A and B are shown apart, each in its own frame.
Chain A
Amino acid sequence: MAEMNMLQAVNEALSIAMQADERMVVFGEDVGHFGGVFRATSGLQEKFGRDRCFNTPLTEQGIAGFANGLASNGMTAVAEIQFADYIFPAFDQIVNESAKFRYRSGNEFDVGGLVFRTPYGGGIAGGHYHSQSPEAYFTQTPGLKVVVPRNPEQAKGLLLASIRDKNPVIFFEPKRLYRASVGEVPADDYEIELGKAEVVREGKDITLVAWGAQMEILEKAADMAAKEGISCEIIDLRTLSPWDIDTVADSVKKTGRLLVNHEAPLTGGFAGEIAATIQQECFLYLESPISRVCGLDTPYPLIHEKEYMPDAFKTFEAIKASVTF
């Protein structure tokens, strides 16, 4: 065990994976000698050479297409998209190519050895293009896995599992936690299974679901609710696609109430999918409407960031409204 922040945990996962797999290459904009604009790939070029950790020209569609090509020919390709806001030029390569590679070829070819790592989310005064949470654009695409860690220990274990998974994975890293989230991380090579949610706090009155940086918002809101005698069960979804319906449904069958929180805009956000599925699975158990505490249906604003965010106060209010429905 060693105490480290999320960036160090990501860096360590990459280093361990590269050490264990000589086919693995890491690339993207500024990831080479410089080590990435957030320093997530720091030291990797020195350790593994320029052929295995290198800068690409500034082209997201090129990075994604290049990654598809590498993975299609037996390499382990870990590509970085500098900000999730800039993944959209690569949308075609990811949605039409990566996601469908295995299916369309009848398993003659696949890009299972592929991971796109990308910093996402707001709370850092990033305005429109350094704050977005685009996960729902990808959860609607069969063939992709979508993973989001909440702290350094999770980041290392989930990233190692994503790199070794036999499917293309988009790994969203909550950048406001990069340095803010510090915790004990096991030194060994370990994986956290994809597709499994984690109950991080048990409770009996309401189930709260989120992922990534919003997990700490849930915990703050749950603490506020506890002072009013409300017991919250908190679930970190961790993998959004394919997501762990059973763990959430079991919890809701126990608590009778569900609140889903995400930073991304409400309409078309992944909370809608969770709400629709849970009302189907748990119709007879629900005691109040499923609550969604999300970003507004606006572009991510700069000066009104605090007002935009689905923070602990908004979440606390929604918890009370659900419990008193």
Chain B
Amino acid sequence: MSKATLNTDTVHRVGFLDKASLHIPILRILQADGTTYETAVLPVIDETLATKIYDTCVFTRVLDERMLGAQRQGRISFYMTCTGEEAAIVGSVAALDQEDVILAQYREHAALRYRGFTTEQFMNQMFSNEKDLGKGRQMPIHYGSAALHYQTISSPLATQIPQATGVGYSLKMQGKRKVAVCYFGEGAASEGDFHAGLNMAAVLKCPVIFFCRNNGYAISTPTEEQFAGNGIASRGVGYGMHTIRVDGNDMLAVLAATQQARAYAIEHNAPVLIEAMTYRLGAHSSSDDPSGYRSKDEEAKWQQHDPVKRFKLWLINKGWLAEADDVKLHEKYREEVLAAVKVAEKIPMPMLDEIIEDVYDKPTPVLRKQLADLKEHIKKYPQAYPKSAGRL
């Protein structure tokens, strides 16, 4: 038994703690008009960094708008936007080293873009063509890149949370002075893997930043039906973890918190929890219609807190962005994305042989036989398998 368990204050009459006992303020640096609060301590940021952050936001907005459209036209099977949460994602990734390992949920493609994922790479994944790094095996938006230290997305929620703890432990063992960064939504935080991952990270002293996007909804489920406690942040304290709550629509607050979280995690080999309060402006996915569970008024209210607009006003105030250049930037990405769609959708799907590769490091005899049988079958009925029949 540890000393902490034994040395506890004692009282002699019953008194319960409740969620109000724990005061967790929201860090805000940037005001709605693009000016900063008088007493705010700004993050480390210069024009180059600020420009890269904004560029990533604009690309992500344009990509989301165009690809949701492409899904509506039936050109890709599925899509999820990051709209409204760009500051949470880009503000945090901008505080990281390029070799910090990212484990994401699915609404964080802006972070991958920030790291250098090309427009073509996004398209190749979404169109499941033969240039997709993932060989067309997963649904659209399940990106991954070893070169960019961005582990491949998987659909099961929260599974990446204890994995991030393992990655953090490995980085510590390898003496790299890097962190693992784990993104997840407030809904995923209800999974058992959240508990497992955070507790293990605290106990095993792993340099991990757990970054929660608390955007108010898990598909149709509002946070009131997700948890009764003081958000996600209160739990970090319970695990013995450095914890902060930030305004997720405030680029500078997210950047400042993540910069300091990273420094702390590396210095102390310890995890940090950041809860970014934001709002999912778009639908959950292309398969969802939010009008069934939330009001237009609510959405309109949050449109006024648009994180990209707020940051843009700050850039304009600083003289680092001109309105005319912003228009050009949007135009440039609209053309780039549209052109990339046209190229990616014409690239053939991966060769059929890929169906048995990478199950194991080498295909087993049984897998090779299954592939051979499948090829014979397709040769017999080529019209039933038009995309692969011509390329056996």
A264 to chain B, nearest CB (A): 21
Please tell me if B145 contacts chain A, counting CB pairs below 8 Å. yes
Contact in complex: A69, B146 (CB < 8 Å): no
Which one of B156, B159, B200 lies within 8 Å of A59 (CB-CB)?
A: B200
Complex CA–CA separation, A143 to B137 (angstroms): 14
Please tell me if A229 contacts chain B, counting CB pairs below 8 Å. no
B112 to chain A, nearest CB (A): 12
What are the residues of chain A within 8 A of B161 when measuring CB–CB?
65
Please tell me if B92 contacts chain A, counting CB pairs below 8 Å. no
What are the residues of chain B within 8 A of A25 when measuring CB–CB?
169, 173
**Given A108-B145, A142-B359, residue A59 in contact with residue B167 (CB < 8 A):** no
A75 to chain B, nearest CB (A): 5
Contact in complex: A62, B162 (CB < 8 Å): yes
Of A8-16, A93-101, A214-222, A286-294, the one with at least 4 CB within 8 A of chain B: A93-101
What are the residues of chain B within 8 A of A59 when measuring CB–CB?
195-196, 199-200
Which one of B152, B156, B180, B200 lies within 8 Å of A62 (CB-CB)?
A: B200
Contact in complex: A70, B200 (CB < 8 Å): no
Q: Interface code A52-72, partner B: CB below 8 Å = 1, 0 otherwise?
A: 001011010110111111111
State which size class the interface on B falls in.
Answer: 35 or more
What are the residues of chain A within 8 A of B174 when measuring CB–CB?
73-74
Which one of A57, A61, A69, A102 lies within 8 Å of B169 (CB-CB)?
A: A69
Please tell me if B307 contacts chain A, counting CB pairs below 8 Å. no
Task: List residues of chain B with CB under 8 Å of any chain A CB.
Answer: 101, 103, 132-135, 137-138, 142, 144-146, 151-152, 154, 156, 159, 161-171, 173-174, 180, 192-193, 195-197, 199-200, 203-204, 357-361, 364-366
Contact in complex: A73, B154 (CB < 8 Å): no
> Could you list some 18 contacts between A and B, CB below 8 A?
A57-B203, A59-B199, A61-B193, A62-B197, A65-B159, A66-B197, A68-B159, A73-B167, A73-B170, A73-B174, A103-B358, A104-B142, A107-B358, A108-B144, A109-B144, A143-B360, A145-B360, A242-B360
Complex CA–CA separation, A50 to B253 (angstroms): 38
B356 to chain A, nearest CB (A): 9
B256 to chain A, nearest CB (A): 27
Complex CA–CA separation, A56 to B359 (angstroms): 29
Please tell me if A51 contacts chain B, counting CB pairs below 8 Å. yes
Chain A residue with the shortest CB-CB distance to B151: A109
Complex CA–CA separation, A313 to B269 (angstroms): 58
Contact in complex: B162, A72 (CB < 8 Å): no
**Given A57-B203, A66-B169, A97-B159, residue A108 in contact with residue B154 (CB < 8 A):** no
Contact in complex: A245, B159 (CB < 8 Å): no
Complex CA–CA separation, A23 to B357 (angstroms): 27
**Given A62-B197, A102-B359, A167-B361, residue A69 in contact with residue B163 (CB < 8 A):** yes
What are the residues of chain B within 8 A of A142 when measuring CB–CB?
359
Contact in complex: A51, B173 (CB < 8 Å): yes
Complex CA–CA separation, A4 to B163 (angstroms): 36
B151 to chain A, nearest CB (A): 6
A103 to chain B, nearest CB (A): 5
Contact in complex: A97, B364 (CB < 8 Å): no
Please tell me if A77 contacts chain B, counting CB pairs below 8 Å. yes
Contact in complex: A56, B138 (CB < 8 Å): no
Please tell me if A89 contacts chain B, counting CB pairs below 8 Å. yes
What are the residues of chain A within 8 A of B180 when measuring CB–CB?
69
Given contacts A62-B193, A70-B170, A77-B166, 11 further A-B contacts (CB under 8 A): A25-B169, A56-B203, A59-B199, A66-B196, A70-B169, A73-B170, A105-B151, A106-B144, A108-B152, A142-B359, A145-B360
**Given A61-B193, A110-B361, residue A105 in contact with residue B166 (CB < 8 A):** no
Give chain A interface residues in 96-139, CB to chain B under 8 Å.
96-97, 100-110, 112
Contact in complex: A65, B133 (CB < 8 Å): no
A-B complex: 5 closest residue pairs judged by Cβ atoms: A69-B166, A65-B162, A62-B196, A105-B152, A69-B163
